[in-house]
Amino acid sequence: MSSLKNDRYLRALSKQPVDVTPVWMMRQAGRYLPEYREVRGQAGDFMSLCRNAELACEVTLQPLRRFDLDAAILFSDILTIPDAMGLGLYFEKGEGPKFERPLTSMAEIEALPKVDPNQELQYVMNAVSTIRKNLKGEVPLIGFSGSPWTLATYMIEGGSSKAFTKIKKMAFAEPKALHLLLDKLADAVIDYLNAQIEAGAQSVMVFDTWGGVLSPRDYKDFSLQYMHKIVQGLHREYEGLRIPVTLFTKNGGQWLESIAATGCDGIGLDWTTNIADAKARVGHLVTLQGNMDPSMLYATPTRIEHEVKTILAGFGEGEGHVFNLGHGIHPDVPPENAKTFVDAVHKFSRPYHQKG
C-alpha cells in the first residue's frame, strides 16, 4: 500500500485509520461526462471502447482529472464472461445489453466452454495493466465482475428483465441446470478476477445487481453461496499486498449478516438500507460502502451536502466506511454536482477521523 500516494480506499477496506472518508462513484467513467461521450464516439460502440486498452484507460482516468476521487475502477462491462462463452452479446439502442443465443437447456449449459481470461478476455487484462501503469500510483485500481446469479439472469433472459420469469422457471423447475451454470460462472469469475489482480488490480468488487429479486432462501441458494465460493477462491494477497474484496447486492440490506459471513472485506449498500443500522449489524466485521441515492445528484449543492452530512453522521466515528452512491451515477447528472458530492465527503468527514 505504501507505494500509493493516496491509499485511503485500501486503508478503509482494512479498517485502518484515514484522514478523511474515501469516496468513489460506481460508473464514475461514463455518459454524464462530455469527454467520455467524445471518446465513445471515437471508439464507435461500447464494446469497441472496452476492447481498446488505450481508450478504456483514457475514460477510466477522465473522472480522476475532474474530481478528487480516492480510487479508479476498471472500465469494462459485467457481461464480458458470457460474451466470451459465445452467447453473442450486442447492445440495442435504448434497451441495454442483449444476447443472440440465450441459454434454454441443460445441454446448452453443459456445452458452455471454459473461458481462459488470458486468451478470450485478454483485452480486459490489457486494459487493467494499461490503467495501472498510467495511474502512476496516484490511487488504487479496482477490478470487478458481475456475480454468477446476475450474469446468469442475462444469459437466460437474453437481456434485462423486469420479472425474471425465465431464470426463476429454471431455478424452480430445473434447479440442477441452473446450479451447474452458476457453478461454471463462479469458477470463471474466480479465474477472471485473479487474472485482473495479476494484471494490476489492487482491489476487486463483485456486482450482484439482481440478487435482490430473490427470496431470502433462494438468495442464499442461487446467489450468495456462489459469491462465497468466489471470495474463497480469490488471491487475497498478491505480491505481498492484501487484495480486498467487496460484495454488492442491490436491495440486499436484509442479508448483511450472511454476506459478511462470506469473509469479504467490504459490503456495498444501496440507499434502501440505513447505514447506521448496517453498521450496528455488521460494522464490526466488514467495511461498508455507500450509500447515497444516485438521484440525489440532481439536487441543489446545499441539498447534496446535507445528504452527505446525514450519511456521514449515520455511520459516525470509527473506520470502515467507503463513501459511494447506492448504485451507478445517472447519465444526465451535471458533472459539477458530482464534484460537489465528492468534495463534500472529504470536507465533512474530517471531524469523524480526528482522534483525541
Rounded to the nearest integer, the mean pLDDT of the chain is 97
Q: Is the pLDDT of residue 356 over 60?
A: no
Residue 354: pLDDT band (50, 70, 90) is confident
At 145-157, the pLDDT tens digits run 999 999 999 999 9
Q: What share of the chain is helix, strand, coil (3-state, %, to 5)?
A: 50, 10, 35
Residue with cell 458481475: 146
Give residue 355's pLDDT band: very low, low, confident or very high (50, 70, 90). Answer: confident
How far, in Å, CA of 321 to CA of 316, rounded?
9
CA distance 221 to 228: 11
Euclidean distance between CA atoms 248 and 324, whole angstroms: 12
The one catalytic residue in 9, 32, 36, 154 is 154
Q: Residue 3's pLDDT is what?
A: 84
Confirm whether 8 is a catalytic residue.
Answer: no
**122 residue type, one letter:** Q
Catalytic-labelled residue, pool 27, 66, 242, 281: 27
Residue 1 has pLDDT above 50, yes or no: no
- What is the Cα–Cα distance from 1 to 5, expressed in whole angstroms? 9
Catalytic residue among 37, 66, 68, 77: 77
Annotated binding site for substrate: 27-31, 77, 154, 209, 327
What pLDDT, on a 0 to 100 scale, did the predictor assign at position 82? 98
Rounded CA separation 315/186 (Å): 32
Q: Is there a catalytic annotation at residue 40?
A: yes
Q: What is the pLDDT of residues 22-70, one digit of tens each?
A: 999 999 999 999 999 999 999 999 999 999 999 999 999 999 999 999 9
- Please tell me the distance from the alpha carbon of residue 24 to that of residue 69, in angstroms, as a whole number: 5
- Are the CB atoms for 154 and 99 separated by under 8 Å? yes
77 counts as catalytic: yes
Indicate the pTM of the whole model: 0.97
Digit-coded pLDDT (tens) for 284-315:
999 999 999 999 999 999 999 999 999 999 99
Question: Regarding predicted confidence, which is higher, 356 or 167?
Answer: 167
Q: What is the mean pLDDT of residues 266-274?
A: 98
| 3-state SS, one letter per residue, for 118-174 | CCCCHHHHHHHHHHHHHHCCCCCEEEEEECHHHHHHHHHHCECCCCCHHHHHHHHHC
Is the pLDDT at 257 greater than 80? The verdict is yes
Residues 324-348 as b/e (b if ≥16 CB within 10 A, e otherwise) read bbbbbbeeebebebbbbbbbbbbeb
Active-site annotation holds for 11: no
Determine the Cα–Cα distance for residues 88 and 51; give it in Å rounded to an integer. 15
C-alpha of 239 from chain center:
23
pLDDT digits (tens, 9 = 90+) for 197-206: 999 999 999 9
pLDDT score of 264 more than 90? yes
Rounded to an integer, what distance in angstroms lies between the CA atom of residue 266 and that of residue 250? 14
Q: What is the mean pLDDT of residues 176-188?
A: 98
Give the tens place of pLDDT for each residue, 315-344: 999 999 999 999 999 999 999 999 999 999
Known active-site residue 238: no
* Domains of the chain, each with CATH number or no CATH: 7-28+270-356 (no CATH), 75-251 (3.20.20.210)
Catalytic residue among 8, 11, 40, 51: 40
**Beta-bridge partners for 322:** 289
Q: What's the one-letter identity of residue 36? A: Y
Q: What is the pLDDT of residue 92?
A: 82
Annotated binding site: 27-31, 77, 154, 209, 327
